[in-house]
Chains A and B, each alone.
Chain A
């Protein structure tokens, strides 16, 4: 497989703006918004290329260029999305070159999100139909052009491997030769898509197109761009959220070799230098005094206490089935608990960075970001320019996980660039990256269940409090006190639960910015609901798998993954003392998943996750390679959070600084992971995040099985387990 370097888009503002999206802004798994396919003919269309839509360009040299509407951050979208288009366009992946899409909300919005963003595991869910249609439309026009030239019925022609072929006369023409004529063909309104039996690419383990450049150092991430004359800056933002710069003594910093300039902002200071080494040294030499502002005493405990208090009131009703209060009153047994999850940083391996060249009437930005149109809009505001004067080049992303759905880094870089002559690359230190992240919210749940005489649930009540990221990020998505992200995984369980009542209380922590984090709402909700389901099984004195299974009569896909995971894990077989198995089951991001984790708890309370078995039904598998990889990835990401992940505040400051205080699972701790995929012809479900939400309760439940200790607060506290030993 050859792969040409991914290019910034050559065509940025040229596409037709007619038709396109009909959306109401919303975010979330189940929401499908109206999409008028963006198949407007390019205004740049000419006789030397064929641009049937915003995703495909075929030159008269036969070069097929695919513009990627979603960004590549490791999830394999730059392989699976080309597979969708190429499948219907009838080209091989060897023939295609990829371009990053420019910011253009109208052309490149995700139909499920309503905005140009890559997140919520829905690139494949959003692109599954429209991107195959994009390929089919282009192929149909190429076939029409060939048929016209040959004077034959298009129905007697077929396309294969970048050519149109007329079998009866054995004629064939390359797409490049046909490009100019295809551009003049009418755009078909309805194109038939292949049946699964006809797929050549979809469902095969295609190798990643971006891999070769990533093993030899030539892949270009945002942090790697080097416009001519670029200076490097690094910054210190107010250590207390909401604080301001009071004074800066830059005398010592200015004497350091390579330091060019000190830039003072209202709430941050940056040092601009010839290289990052000098910039960091310069920053360390600054003497900055901060006005700490109103949050100088802020601490995590106070935030948790506020949330606990908030769950005593009433919230917005997110789901109500039957009469949970009455059923609870009549229940034979009641189970109650409070669950908590901490703030979490993203800690992408590529620290936050953004390069800006702010010229008189124009701003050029180089970045790797999950929401380009957002970057463009916010950078324009910071630069005091109209959005169309802001050119954004996207790049490969060294870890997104939701961090790069935010434009704060771009805004900062523009603010600094306003005071710098020529291009400047602003690179955050790891400490700055962790201490000025926008965090996965702290959430707290007050949850209860009523069981009947046989232990079967008859009532379920949950009121949880925390930040709504959607309310800030996409305000129209927050309605009547609710948003689809905060509640995903809390209100739509796979189980048959007859009297079910869930409320959400939006409670924003003072000063602390919150953001989406891999597996978003379910990162919290699945931990709570699946741990609590285990508590209910324990209260009913039943096996956790059998207990769940009895509630799945209406959800055969969920039951199938549960059975498969339990079987492959050897559920029920004995384990050594101090070890245990825990199960979790979920339906989030459109995919069914069951996991069984095996853990070992030492006498000192240290937890090792030894083995994870995962069964998945994600509908049609586009690239089995990617599905496996994403599950392995999601499990490590979630297990890292379960074992170590916690951002805490003291005196308004984040206490964690680098990978020593914000730990990651490493090679020597990585569990063995087995993935089993259930065959399905349903439309594809999301895969990027589902492994993350499922592993956390599986680990907590396994710890309970090993020790009898129920951990209702993440991350794992070994002190609690030590006492148990």
Chain B
């Protein structure tokens, strides 16, 4: 059946089974390929999006569970203050390598920063340990989050 979802402020009608994961609606139906597929079981975090501001694994989120909630993806996260700060810190700290997991990392980090402007190391562990990076960029991710959290951080 057809579902109506709101992604990055835009309404879309999609005609798929209700149990179709949001990830595939974004990537294959709407053509928004910034959100990545990594595991399909919420084990790696590559598919992380925000649903009403909460970091959510889109690979296990059925389309019929979204209702009127707002979906935000990597394509639009730069329009939020936390997202813009995180993206800038990622660039300033040269975080990315292959980059494939970084959409998910940035979405998790942006949600963290939006809810906790000054995260501790333990907060970072909690928020980020669901996101695997096979290139091992963890050291720089941690530094970048701290950089983005500094009161004088530019951007945003």
Contact = CB atoms under 8 A, between A and B. Distances in A.
Interface of A: 72-76, 207-208, 210-221, 223-224, 226, 232, 256-258, 274-278, 280-281, 347-351, 396-401, 427, 429-430, 625, 629, 632-637, 640, 658-660, 664-668, 670, 672-673
A401 B28 CA distance: 27
Interface in B64-119: 73-75, 78, 87, 90-91, 94-103, 106
Interface size grouping (class) on chain B: 35 or more
A215 B142 contact: no
Contacts of B149: none
Contact of B135 (A217, A276, A633): A633
B97 A217 contact: no
B17 A257 contact: yes
11 contacts: A211-B94, A218-B75, A257-B17, A277-B24, A278-B16, A280-B40, A430-B40, A637-B134, A658-B41, A660-B41, A667-B125
B129 A349 contact: no
A429 B75 CA distance: 24
Given A216-B34, A277-B24, A668-B129, A399 B98 contact: yes
A660 B38 CA distance: 13
B43 A636 contact: no
4 interchain residue pairs of minimum CB distance: A217-B34, A636-B136, A398-B100, A74-B98
A539 B9 CA distance: 68
B151 interface: no
A220 B33 contact: yes
Interface of B: 16-17, 19-21, 23-25, 27-29, 31-41, 43-44, 46, 73-75, 78, 87, 90-91, 94-103, 106, 124-126, 128-142
B102 A214 contact: yes
Contacts of B124: 667
Given A215-B106, A216-B74, A659-B39, A632 B99 contact: no
A211 B27 CA distance: 21
Contact of B139 (A211, A398, A666, A670): A670
Contacts of A275: 16, 20, 24-25, 27-29
B98 A667 contact: no
Contact of B101 (A349, A632, A635, A670): A349
Please report whether the interface of chain B is mostly helix, strand, loop or mixed according to DSSP.
loop
Please report whether the interface of chain A is mostly helix, strand, loop or mixed according to DSSP.
loop
Contact of B38 (A207, A351, A665, A668): A351
Contact of B16 (A214, A257, A400, A640): A257
A263 to B, nearest CB: 18
Contacts of B132: 349, 659, 664, 666
A667 B128 contact: yes
A213 B78 CA distance: 12
A169 B134 CA distance: 56
Contacts of A219: 99
B37 A223 contact: yes
Contacts of B16: 257-258, 275, 277-278
Contacts of B37: 223, 276, 351, 427
A307 B103 CA distance: 43
B129 A215 contact: no
Contacts of B44: 349, 430, 659, 664
